Structure 1
Amino acid sequence: MDTVKFHSADFDKTPPTVQVQIPKRLIHQGVESGTIQNAYSQARKHPVFFIDLPSIAISMTIGGLTPNGRSNRHRHTYETILFVLEGQGYSMIEDQKVEWKAGDAVYIPVWAWHHHVNLDPDKPAKYLACENAPMLQNMGNLALREEAN
């Protein structure tokens, strides 16, 4: 099935209404009881669970930081909003230290170097990450990620 590609000169073809298309799956039950993304998690030094839903614009993951844990320093071309579910720590975003605790939301700008640190020596930290990576991938593989050495 070929996807129709519209161009600038096709602006007059913008429809006045949208037909609702309900996907087969609207729920991902038991996200954290499923399989952890081992290779992805190991490479980033913290556990990550992918939320598997058919969104073509946003993605969500549940990430964790082990007690006193730290993620890799990295950057990406997609925006991220983290909502802290459990724990306390900080994120280094470029040269700014942003302290967070459960209930806080943190914004990670496009292409900003960053990493996350759990300050609790006894308990893990957990967050929900919402990103626009699928939208960028669907626009032409524009979602890029770089890990620091």
Structure 2
Amino acid sequence: MLSSDKQTGATEHQVSEESKSFSSKDFHQTFARPVYVKPSHLIHKNVENAGVHNQFSTERKHPVFFVDLPSKNVSMTIGGLLPNQLTNRHRHTYETVLYVIEGSGWTEVEDERVYWEAGDAVYIPSWAWHRHQNLSDSLPAKYLACENAPQLQNLGVALREEEGRDL
């Protein structure tokens, strides 16, 4: 049975999800009625031409280009490792999948080192200590990193820790 709002005449399921705050007693009011919400944009052209993200690149000690799309669940960045570069060990609560575009190197996940080259994909589980090394002394390495960080940030549970800085 639906109840009515006496002032507006609206039924409970007509009230927008944004204006209603649910608690555990309201579980039965969860309806499977997805709604398409038009995003602000569907494409980010020439990502690398938009410029490196300076603050994050400085922290990471290698160039990082954010892909600016309105996803609330996944992110994508283009990362680069300079010749012979080794990143700091770090960990985070979100998962990462790297797709190597160019170069060769390794990624250390906890105590396991996996070697990669262009065309390979590498999985980094949540909260695993990891770091990356470019094995070339003359060529850069480049990869796409896809993460579920926005989803966890929106839930308020995304954490990131750099060894030596945050401990």
Query: Is the TM value for this pair above 0.5?
Result: yes
Q: Percent identity?
A: 59
Identify the residue that residue 161 of structure 2 maps to in structure 1. Answer: 146
Counterpart amino acid of residue 95 in structure 2: E
Cα deviation digits, residues 86-141 of structure 1 (max 9, x gap): 1110001111001111111101011111000000111110000010111011112x
Cα deviation digits, residues 37-88 of structure 1 (max 9, x gap): 1121111111100111110001110000001111111000110010111111
- Which structure has more relative contact order (CA 8 Å, sep 6+)? It is 1
SS of the aligned residue for 2:36 comes to coil
SS of the aligned residue for 1:46 comes to coil
Identify the residue that residue 117 of structure 1 maps to in structure 2. Answer: 133
> Where do 5+ consecutive residues of structure 2 fail to align?
1-17
Counterpart amino acid of residue 98 in structure 2: L
**1:4 Cα offset (Å):** 4.1
Equivalent pairs, count:
147
The 3 A distance-change label for structure 1 pair 133 and 119 is same
**1:15 Cα offset (Å):** 2.0
> Where do 5+ consecutive residues of structure 1 fail to align?
none
Which structure would you say has the larger Rg?
2
Aligned-residue CA RMSD in angstroms?
1.3
Cα deviation digits, residues 3-42 of structure 1 (max 9, x gap): 6443333332222321111112111111001121112111
TM-score (norm 2): 0.83
